[in-house]
Amino acid sequence: MSHTAEPDTAPAYEPTGRTVPTRGRDRASYDRELVHSILDSGYVCHLGFVRDGAPVVLPTLYARVGETLYVHGSTGSRPLRMAGQEDPGLDVCLTVTHIDGLVLARSAFHHSVNYRSAVIHGTAYQVTDEDEKRMALDALVDHVVAGRSADSRPANAKELAATAVIRVDLAEVSAKSRAGGPNDEPEDMALPHWAGVLPVAPVYGAPVPSADLAESVALPDYLTALG
């Protein structure tokens, strides 16, 4: 592989001017394990960059391998063409957010959400080494459903050429979260309005087989385990 950075075992990321929030600093964290858990339990990230002097944000799939995030796309997509191997690469900001609950307060002002989010600042580079690219694509497939890459045909040469992957190292990273109930004002406590939290959580439904799937193909164990 062309990218062989040693894994960082430090317990926390170092705060920087870009990762310290201006508001709600008490909700910020640089704990490595927390950041990894937020990234590993998500599916879609939002990738932000500047194109022709204007901000652009795109939703896309990603996967974490150690201290590196891999982001998938087409070779024709603008950010992946901009993130060439040559310096300076493409400056990006990547975010992942989970909504854990809707916080309903007695006053409209104090309505909120319980959430976990991670923000990564860095420079993206296109992955050109074939071995690293195949590893990254396997990681992307397994991030969607663990075990799936070994249970599907790998990309052939034509498909590999049509697929682009960019790499962003986890260096400037922060997490931010909120938990708990509403923070109503003392004078509002007696108001006759329901207050509390409506939990939000992802739920997997029953797998729906493809209409042309052969009857002899059994449902994989890694799918039944998600139920």
* pLDDT of 6 strictly over 70: no
Percent of the chain with pLDDT over 90: 72
Q: Model confidence at 84, in pLDDT bands (50, 70, 90)?
A: low
pLDDT of 82: 63
**3 state SS for 9-49:** CCCECCCCCCCCCCCCHHHEECEHHHHHHHHHCCCEEEEEE
Q: How far apart are CA 161 and CA 198, in angstroms?
A: 46
* pLDDT of 4 strictly over 50: no
Identify which has the larger pLDDT, 75 or 25: 25
Other CB atoms within a 10 A radius of the CB of residue 206 amount to: 8
pLDDT of 85: 52
Each residue's pLDDT tens digit, 139-180: 999 999 999 999 999 999 999 988 889 999 999 999 999 999
Does residue 220 have a cis peptide bond before it, meaning omega lies within 30 degrees of 0? no
Percent of the chain with pLDDT over 70: 89
Which domains does the chain carry?
Answer: 25-186+194-224 (2.30.110.10)
pTM for this predicted structure:
0.87
Q: Model confidence at 3, in pLDDT bands (50, 70, 90)?
A: very low
Mean of pLDDT values over 193-205: 95
Name residues whose C-beta falls within 8 Å of residue 37's C-beta, 6 or more positions apart in sequence.
none
Each residue's pLDDT tens digit, 33-50: 999 999 999 999 999 999
Using CA atoms, how far residue 108 sits from 26, 99, 101, 198, 225, in Å, is 23, 19, 16, 16, 41
Name residues whose C-beta falls within 8 Å of residue 218's C-beta, 6 or more positions apart in sequence.
none
Q: How far apart are CA 65 and CA 174, in angstroms?
A: 17
Interior angle at CA 136, CA 132 and CA 140, nearest 5: 175
pLDDT of 9: 64
Please tell me the least confidently modeled range out of 13-22, 51-60, 114-123, 210-219. 13-22
Using CA atoms, how far residue 32 sits from 29, 55, 104, 170, 186, in Å, is 9, 28, 31, 10, 37
Mean of pLDDT values over 87-100: 90
* Mean pLDDT of all residues belonging to the chain: 89
pLDDT of 149: 95
Mean of pLDDT values over 45-68: 94
